[in-house]
Chains A and B, each alone.
Chain A
Amino acid sequence: MDNRGLSPVVGKTLAASIAVLYVAGMTALLLNGPVPAGQTAAGGELGERVLATAAGHVEAAIPDGDRRVDVRTEVAMPATVRNTGYTLELRSGRLVLDHPTDALDRETRLLLPATVTVADGNWTSTDRLVVRVAGAPGNRTLWLEGDR
């Protein structure tokens, strides 16, 4: 009967500490395995879509018609992929997504008419993306421009 007042306290404390240990263990387990993996998978998909959208807008920015042009098309892009900024690079006709997490790097080839020259350049996701096309119909040049 001495432990009559003590044993509920011991029992509850025991249960509570087991519960805390369980939650802590589960959290540690999830944060070390599935959560980052899921983030990378989702980030990879988002990055791929971001690059595909950018490529589509760049390809669509070439105006029709046979006049001399100088047009700027603004493209809405997400500022971050997997919580970090990224850069888009134009390198000899290829559009490259460069992300601090190397597993998310992607690249694609731009399908542009042969009369369009692609100027190499970079764009950082903190800027607004502007695609500029200028020149005579037979010899147009395309740039990526950042616009703060």
Chain B
Amino acid sequence: MTARAQTSLPGLGVAFLLLTAAVFVGLVAAEGALGSTDRAALDRQAAVGLSERLTADRAPLTTRTSVLNDSRLGSLDAATLRSTYGLGPDTAVEVQLDGRTLAAVGDPRVGRTVRRVVLVETRQRRSLTPAFTGSQRATLPRRTDRVLVTLSPPAETTVSEVRADGRVVLREPGGLDGTYDVAVSPYETTTLRFETTGDLDRGSVRLVYFPERTRPAELEVTVDG
């Protein structure tokens, strides 16, 4: 019977050894799980915040939300990043568009990156000289947000009113003459109608419009605070 009590002691020892090993493995696993989780919530939030500011409606670079204006992209540099977007003095930031660096402050090597889908808009300048054969209308072949209307009607003709898709955009009962900048809806095809006394012919009206071309791009913002 003494033998019986004693065999249980080595057994107990082995069991404790196993348990200790298991506890140790568990601790290592827990440590690993904690260590591998992403600890840079603040950096990521800063990157999200900066990307929101960069792509917001009426931001320095955008024409509308998520649409960057190609001609303004060059204006982004380290100084504007700091002054306009309120970054901290020791924050490293990099802004890339489709892999090309637009601006960088410092060297964000271990920072967090967020990617935004944006459109990059380039505006072209096109002109049109309507012939006015049989009508007083001119339809712009592509959508635009503004039209430069240059009126030089023949001597006996007065242009009193210009309508864009039925809406009066220019009005002068005494006669319109010269160049006018007209804002029109960028969402639909614009037809201009000219209310005149007398006839218009080719050359009486010259239109310059600015159709947009957009291409999708990826904006990458990396912040290392």
Name A's B-contacting residues (CB within 8 A). 3-4, 7-8, 10-12, 14-15, 18-19, 22, 26, 30, 34, 38, 41-42, 44-45, 48-49, 51-53, 55-56, 59-60, 64, 93, 106, 108-114
Chain B residue numbers with a CB within 8 Å of A22 are: 16, 19
**Which residues of B are at the interface with A, using a C-beta cutoff of 8 A?**
1-2, 4-6, 8-9, 12, 16, 19-20, 23, 27, 30-31, 34, 37, 39, 41-42, 44-46, 48-50, 52-53, 56-58, 84-88, 91, 225
A53–B87 Cα distance when bound, in Å, is 18
- Tell me which residues across on chain A come within 8 A of B86, comparing CB atoms: 93, 109-112, 114
Q: Chain B residues near A3 (CB, 8 Å)? A: 2
Chain B residue nearest in CB terms to A19? B12
Q: Report Cα–Cα, A56/B44, bound state, in Å.
A: 10
A residues in contact with B91, CB < 8 Å = 109
Contact of B12 among A18, A30, A110, A113 (CB under 8 A): A18
* B42: chain A residues within 8 A (beta carbon): 48, 51-52, 55, 106, 108
Contacts of B12 in A (CB 8 A): 15, 18-19
Contact A4 B46 (CB under 8 A): no
Q: Name the 3 nearest CB pairs between A and B, nearest first.
A: A11-B5, A52-B45, A111-B49
- Chain B residues, CB < 8 A from A59: 49, 52
Contact indicator B34/A42 (Cβ below 8 Å): yes
SS of A interface (majority) = helix
CB distance from B80 to the nearest CB of A (A): 12
Interface SS of B by simple majority: helix
In the complex, which residues of chain A have a beta carbon less than 8 angstroms from the beta carbon of B87? 109, 111
11 A-B contacts (beta carbon < 8 Å): A8-B1, A11-B8, A11-B9, A15-B12, A18-B16, A38-B34, A51-B42, A59-B49, A108-B46, A111-B46, A111-B50
Give the distance in Å from the alpha carbon of A108 to the alpha carbon of B41 in the complex.
Answer: 11
Cross-interface CB contact of B45 among A18, A38, A56, cutoff 8 Å: A56
Residues of B near A44 (CB, < 8 A) are 39
A42 to B33, CA, bound (A): 10
